[in-house]
Amino acid sequence: MQRRSFLTQAGIAAGAALGATQVASAQTADAAPKRKNRPNPIGVSTYSFWRFNDATKLPIKQCIDLAAEMGFDAVELLHIQMESESNAYLQKIKQRAFLHGLALCGFSTHQGFVNPDENVRRVNIGHTLHCIELAYQLGIPTVRINTGRWGTIKNFDDFMANQGREPGLEGYTDDDGFGWVIGSLEKLLPKAEECGVTLGLENHWGLGRNADGVLRIINAINSPWLRATLDTGNFLEDQIPQYEQMAPHAVFVQAKTYYGGGKWYELDLDYQKVAEILRRHNYQGYISLEFEGKEDYETAIPKSLKMLREAFA
């Protein structure tokens, strides 16, 4: 009886200890993992092959083949470059990446919520919900999203010539715009959580032109399913301080290169410094190349990969 009592009590104690361990594990599961001693994986956006140049608008499957041949770890898909949204097409893309040993690391989408018309915002919310579902079907863990812009400068080349700045709509303020964006993004979060797809709000013109604008939205919503996509090429001034602001919130990083000269502009980006900032803020995720130069992609993309490998080693 003494032996049986001892074993029973020991079992209870072991169970309690296991339960305590499980509770502790659950409590720390959401904490950011400590950085491992390994390089960041390097991916490439299919945009790098196309760059909105119809002569090089390669099919997604060919972009995946080239990414594998060049030695990348992953591929980021540009939604508007896809030839279809059928399930058969999506699964073929997923299988092709898998057979090459490549991850599908990101899904880059376009939407805009800076509009006083509720119906326009509703259409963009529906579009983004659909993109979250597509990412889920593809097994992609993050979707790049935008705030949108006022649209008072209609031509994008003119908009870029004005360094991504434009006047607001008459009768409305930036505060109105931030309210529309925040209200719209809040409607996306239940679907993002359901699908396990983290939204990455990018510094991508409009109200997200600078880090203050992006973080104003992220902090107002305060959800683990809305983080930041840090684009190294979309801060046209004060890059380093803004990288510092964005890095703690980054779930995805897009790295611009400009071999052959930039299409709209060219920045002298110090990727050793970028890597140092991201390491300091414990960023362990993907670095996705967005080549935006005029050189032929067949030479410029491998050069970009070599440079990024060295910087993020």
Percentage of residues of the chain with pLDDT beyond 70: 88
Residue 299 has φ and ψ, to the nearest 5°, of -105, -35
The dihedral built from the CA positions of residue 228, 232, 238 and 244, taken in this order, carries a sign that is: positive
* Residue 211 CA to its chain's centroid (Å): 15
| Predicted model pTM | 0.88
Residue 37 confidence (pLDDT): 74
- Average pLDDT of the chain to the nearest whole number: 90
Distance CA 40, CA 279 (A): 9
pLDDT by residue (tens digit) across 5-43?
434 444 444 444 444 434 333 333 455 566 567 899 999
E runs forming strands in 146-234:
198-202, 226-231
> Is 57 a domain residue?
yes
Question: Residue 151 CA to chain centroid, in angstroms?
Answer: 23
pLDDT for the residue 36:
63
Q: In the predicted model, what is the mean pLDDT of residues 73-79?
A: 98
In the predicted model, is pLDDT for residue 288 greater than 50? yes
Closest CA to 93 of 73, 71, 65: 65
> Is 30 part of any domain?
no
Could you tell me if residue 32 is inside a domain? no
Residue 199: alpha-carbon gap to chain centroid? 7
User: Is residue 264 within 8 Å of 157, Cβ to Cβ?
Assistant: yes
- Range of 147's domain? 40-311
Residue whose C-alpha is closest to residue 49's, from 61, 35, 39: 61
- Say which CATH number the domain at 105 has: 3.20.20.150
- pLDDT of 51: 84
pLDDT of residue 29: 41
The predicted-structure confidence for 165-204, as pLDDT tens digits, reads as follows: 999 999 999 999 999 999 999 999 999 999 999 999 999 9
* Residue-by-residue DSSP string for 184-208: HHHTTHHHHHHHT-EEEEE--SGGG
Q: Has residue 24 been placed in a domain? A: no
Q: What per-residue confidence (pLDDT) applies to 30?
A: 56
Question: Is 199 among the domain residues?
Answer: yes
Residue 25 within any structural domain of the chain: no
* Number of separate domains in the chain: 1
Report in angstroms the alpha-carbon separations of 221 from 126, 261, 277, 289: 19, 38, 25, 29
Helices 60-70, 87-99: axis angle to 10 degrees equals 10
Report how far residue 107's alpha carbon sits from residue 144's, in angstroms, rounded to the nearest whole number: 6
